[in-house]
Structure 1
Amino acid sequence: MSNELMTLPRVTGLLVIEVRESNPNGDPDNEGEPRMRGHNERGVISGVSFKRKLRDLVEAKDGPVWMHLASELGIDERKAEFEVLESRGRDRIAIGNMKKADFQKAYWDARLFGTTFLESIKEDKSKDVEHFIRCGVVQFSNGLSVAPIRIHRQTNTNKAGVQEGKDRGMAPLGYRIVEHGIYVMPFFVNPTAALKSGCKPVDLELLKKLIPIAYPQTASAVRPLVETRHAWWIEHKSPLGSCSDFALIDALTPKKKEKPDEASSGIDEYDVPNGLPDELKSRVASIKDLMNG
């Protein structure tokens, strides 16, 4: 293992996300309804949707986020090393013919998150698919709301119709939002996966800069008020791990003060931890809230 790869830490992370009057993650199988588990009405934000926001910010090389962070991290002249594999218009044949070193060097999201993009050509023995990456260094789990969520639906109209011959438009119950929710999304950094993905410390540094701004920099009409309140980044004392992930996650997960099985209307209804208890803190190398810079 190279010295550069050995510097990657084992990390347990937890995002504490507040949602107000927004749809944080629509379900395409349910007409864009905010994702929710039917058996207990807990809201869901998929890890895939969060990673999409990170990818979009990196892909927009002419945008203010990339230009600011690339300058701050000293990678202005290396943008060709931070392309996004999961982007529209990609050339599958050209990517499949890339050499392993070139593939690893080019795609930031593949080095971090892994990919199944090349699955379709993996069985083609004539292709050099050594660079096929199944598992990345960073994994985001689904985010679940601490309490049930309440969904508000309304019909929106517009003055100019979108259908030919109609001078006004209407979308019955087309606007569907979560009134309020606190979600927790665990994520993990596994340095072992860097052996195949080629992930480097600067890839993680860019990720750490992107996490706090992922929601405000990708806000939309249906998702105007989603904010990460805490982004805990906990480094273990050993690359093998020095503490239970579950123990760390449980200790930092907010608890509803009263009526835990009812939807909330504000963050003041929760006890939100501001750090780890001393017993757990002594078992990790460091803990940082990325929201504090």
Structure 2
Amino acid sequence: MMALNNRYDFVLLFDVKDGNPNGDPDAGNLPRLDAESGHGLVTDVSLKRKVRNFVGLVKEQDSRDPQPGEKRFEIYVREKAILNNQHQRAYSALKLDAPEEASEEFALEADEPAGKKKKTAKEKRKGSADDVDQARKWMCQNFFDVRTFGAVMSLGTNCGQVRGPVQLTFARSVAPIVALEHSITRMAVATEAEAEKQQGDNRTMGRKHTVPYGLYIAHGFVSSFLAKQTGFGEEDLELLWQALENMFEHDRSAARGEMATRGLYVFKHDSELGNAPAHELFKRVSAKPTTEIPRDFENYKVTVNDTDLPTGVTLIRRVG
């Protein structure tokens, strides 16, 4: 795989209509928002989850029946995964002795003098630096999200820590959002006891939260220096762009309403260090509502200033 030799900065525009783009579990699953300004928020974790889901979907066949040298697109953080089992796979594949796990309590070793302390779990978990380094490289080679976003894999069986070359910010809505709350009814109950209480009416009441409409902007960064450390290459980068463009198309649910990527603007630097500050490039992509109460993407004007770009910077992709 070709290594990255350029820095990239990108702007992602996406919208939601009559849905909840990212509920806050600490607030009854209400759409996340900035309490001071009223602007909606979507966490970077939520966006990464959708990228992972898309990659897992399009590379599912590779994961089920990988050919030698092609098993590169598994997903480390997936639903119901036991992460320590993934770490153990690295040690098994490399025929390394996984560090033992033990309690933090002190105990006597049968073959050691009385009073000598037994190693704690933290001490045993560390393993040798060489083993951890090999395991970390194996995890980067086999898991797309590890070499893309990084991961902390030092718990349990130690595979070290990886700082990912691709980072995303929280997405923020262009205009303040309104979070609506709807009462919903299910024409059924779960148990006989509930049915008896309702004397056969058998209705269950619930609530649903939606945003009538919101256009969100997120910023992202790709470091070629960190990409070389994790093995993130040109093929991975192209898959990332594909995921950002199409991730909402394969993440439909009643709760999310209509969500879609409306724009992906990628600034490519000629050098690895970069040829302009990221924040100056991000200013070149802006969106403003054209009506007092925007309720559709057509109610916004998106402006992209691609003239007189800084020397060494190219706008290489525009979607939307």
> TM-score with structure 2 length normalisation?
0.75
Match of 1:269 in 2: 299
Question: 1:11, 1:188 within 8 Å by CA — same for their partners in 2?
Answer: yes
* Residue 307 (structure 2) aligns with: 278
Deviation at 1:110, TM superposition (A): 0.3
SS state at 1:280 partner: coil
1:160 matched to 2:188? The reply is yes
- The 3-state SS of whatever aligns with 1:253 is strand
Match for residue 249 of structure 1?
282
Task: Give secondary structure in 2 for the equivalent of 1:234.
Answer: strand
Structure 2 CA distance, aligned partners of 1:151 and 1:24?
Answer: 11
Output the CA distance in 2 between the equivalents of 1:86 and 1:23: 23
Report the counterpart of residue 76 of structure 2 in structure 1. Answer: 85
Q: Which amino acid aligns with 1:46?
A: T
Distance 1:102 1:290 in 2: 34
Amino acid at match of 2:253: S
Change (3 A) 1:276 1:163: farther
Residue 265 of structure 1: how far off its partner (Å): 2.1
Cα distance in 1, alignment partners of residues 315 and 37 from structure 2: 35
Secondary structure in structure 2 of the residue aligned to 1:120: coil
Shift of 1:190: 0.8
Cα distance change on mapping 1:91 and 1:49 into 2, 3 Å: closer
Which of 139, 149, 158 is the matching residue for 1:113?
149
Equivalent pair of 1:42/1:149 in contact (CA under 8 Å): yes
Deviations for 1:155-210, whole angstroms, at most 9, x for unmatched residues? 01111123543322111xx2110111111011111111123322122111111111
Change over 3 Å in CA distance of 1:217–1:281 after alignment to 2: farther
The corresponding residue for 2:318 is 289
How many angstroms does 1:43 deviate by?
0.1
Residues 226 and 128 of structure 1: is their aligned pair in 2 closer, same or farther, counting only changes over 3 Å?
A: closer
Corresponding residue for residue 119 of structure 2: none
In structure 1, runs of 5+ residues without a counterpart are 122-126
CA deviation string 1:79-137 (max 9, x = no partner): 52111111223350551553233222111100000012x1324xxxxx664x521x201
What whole-Å deviation, never above 9, does each CA across 1:2-23 have from its counterpart, x for those lacking one? x943x34211111111211111
Percent identity between the two aligned chains: 26
1:9 matched residue in structure 2: 6
- Over the aligned positions, Cα root-mean-square deviation in angstroms equals 2.5
**Count of aligned positions:** 265
Shift in Å at residue 279 of structure 1?
A: 1.6
Structure-1 residue corresponding to 2:20: 23
Shift of 1:284: 0.9
Cα distance change on mapping 1:94 and 1:46 into 2, 3 Å: closer
- State the partner residue of 2:104: none
* Deviation at residue 283 of structure 1 after TM alignment: 4.5
Residues 89 and 22 of structure 1, relative CA distance in 2, 3 Å threshold:
same
Q: 2:41 aligns with which of 35, 39, 44?
A: 44
Q: Which amino acid is 1:92 matched to?
A: N
8 Å CA contact 2:285–2:305 kept in 1: the answer is yes
List runs of 5+ in structure 2 lacking aligned partners.
Answer: 92-134, 196-201
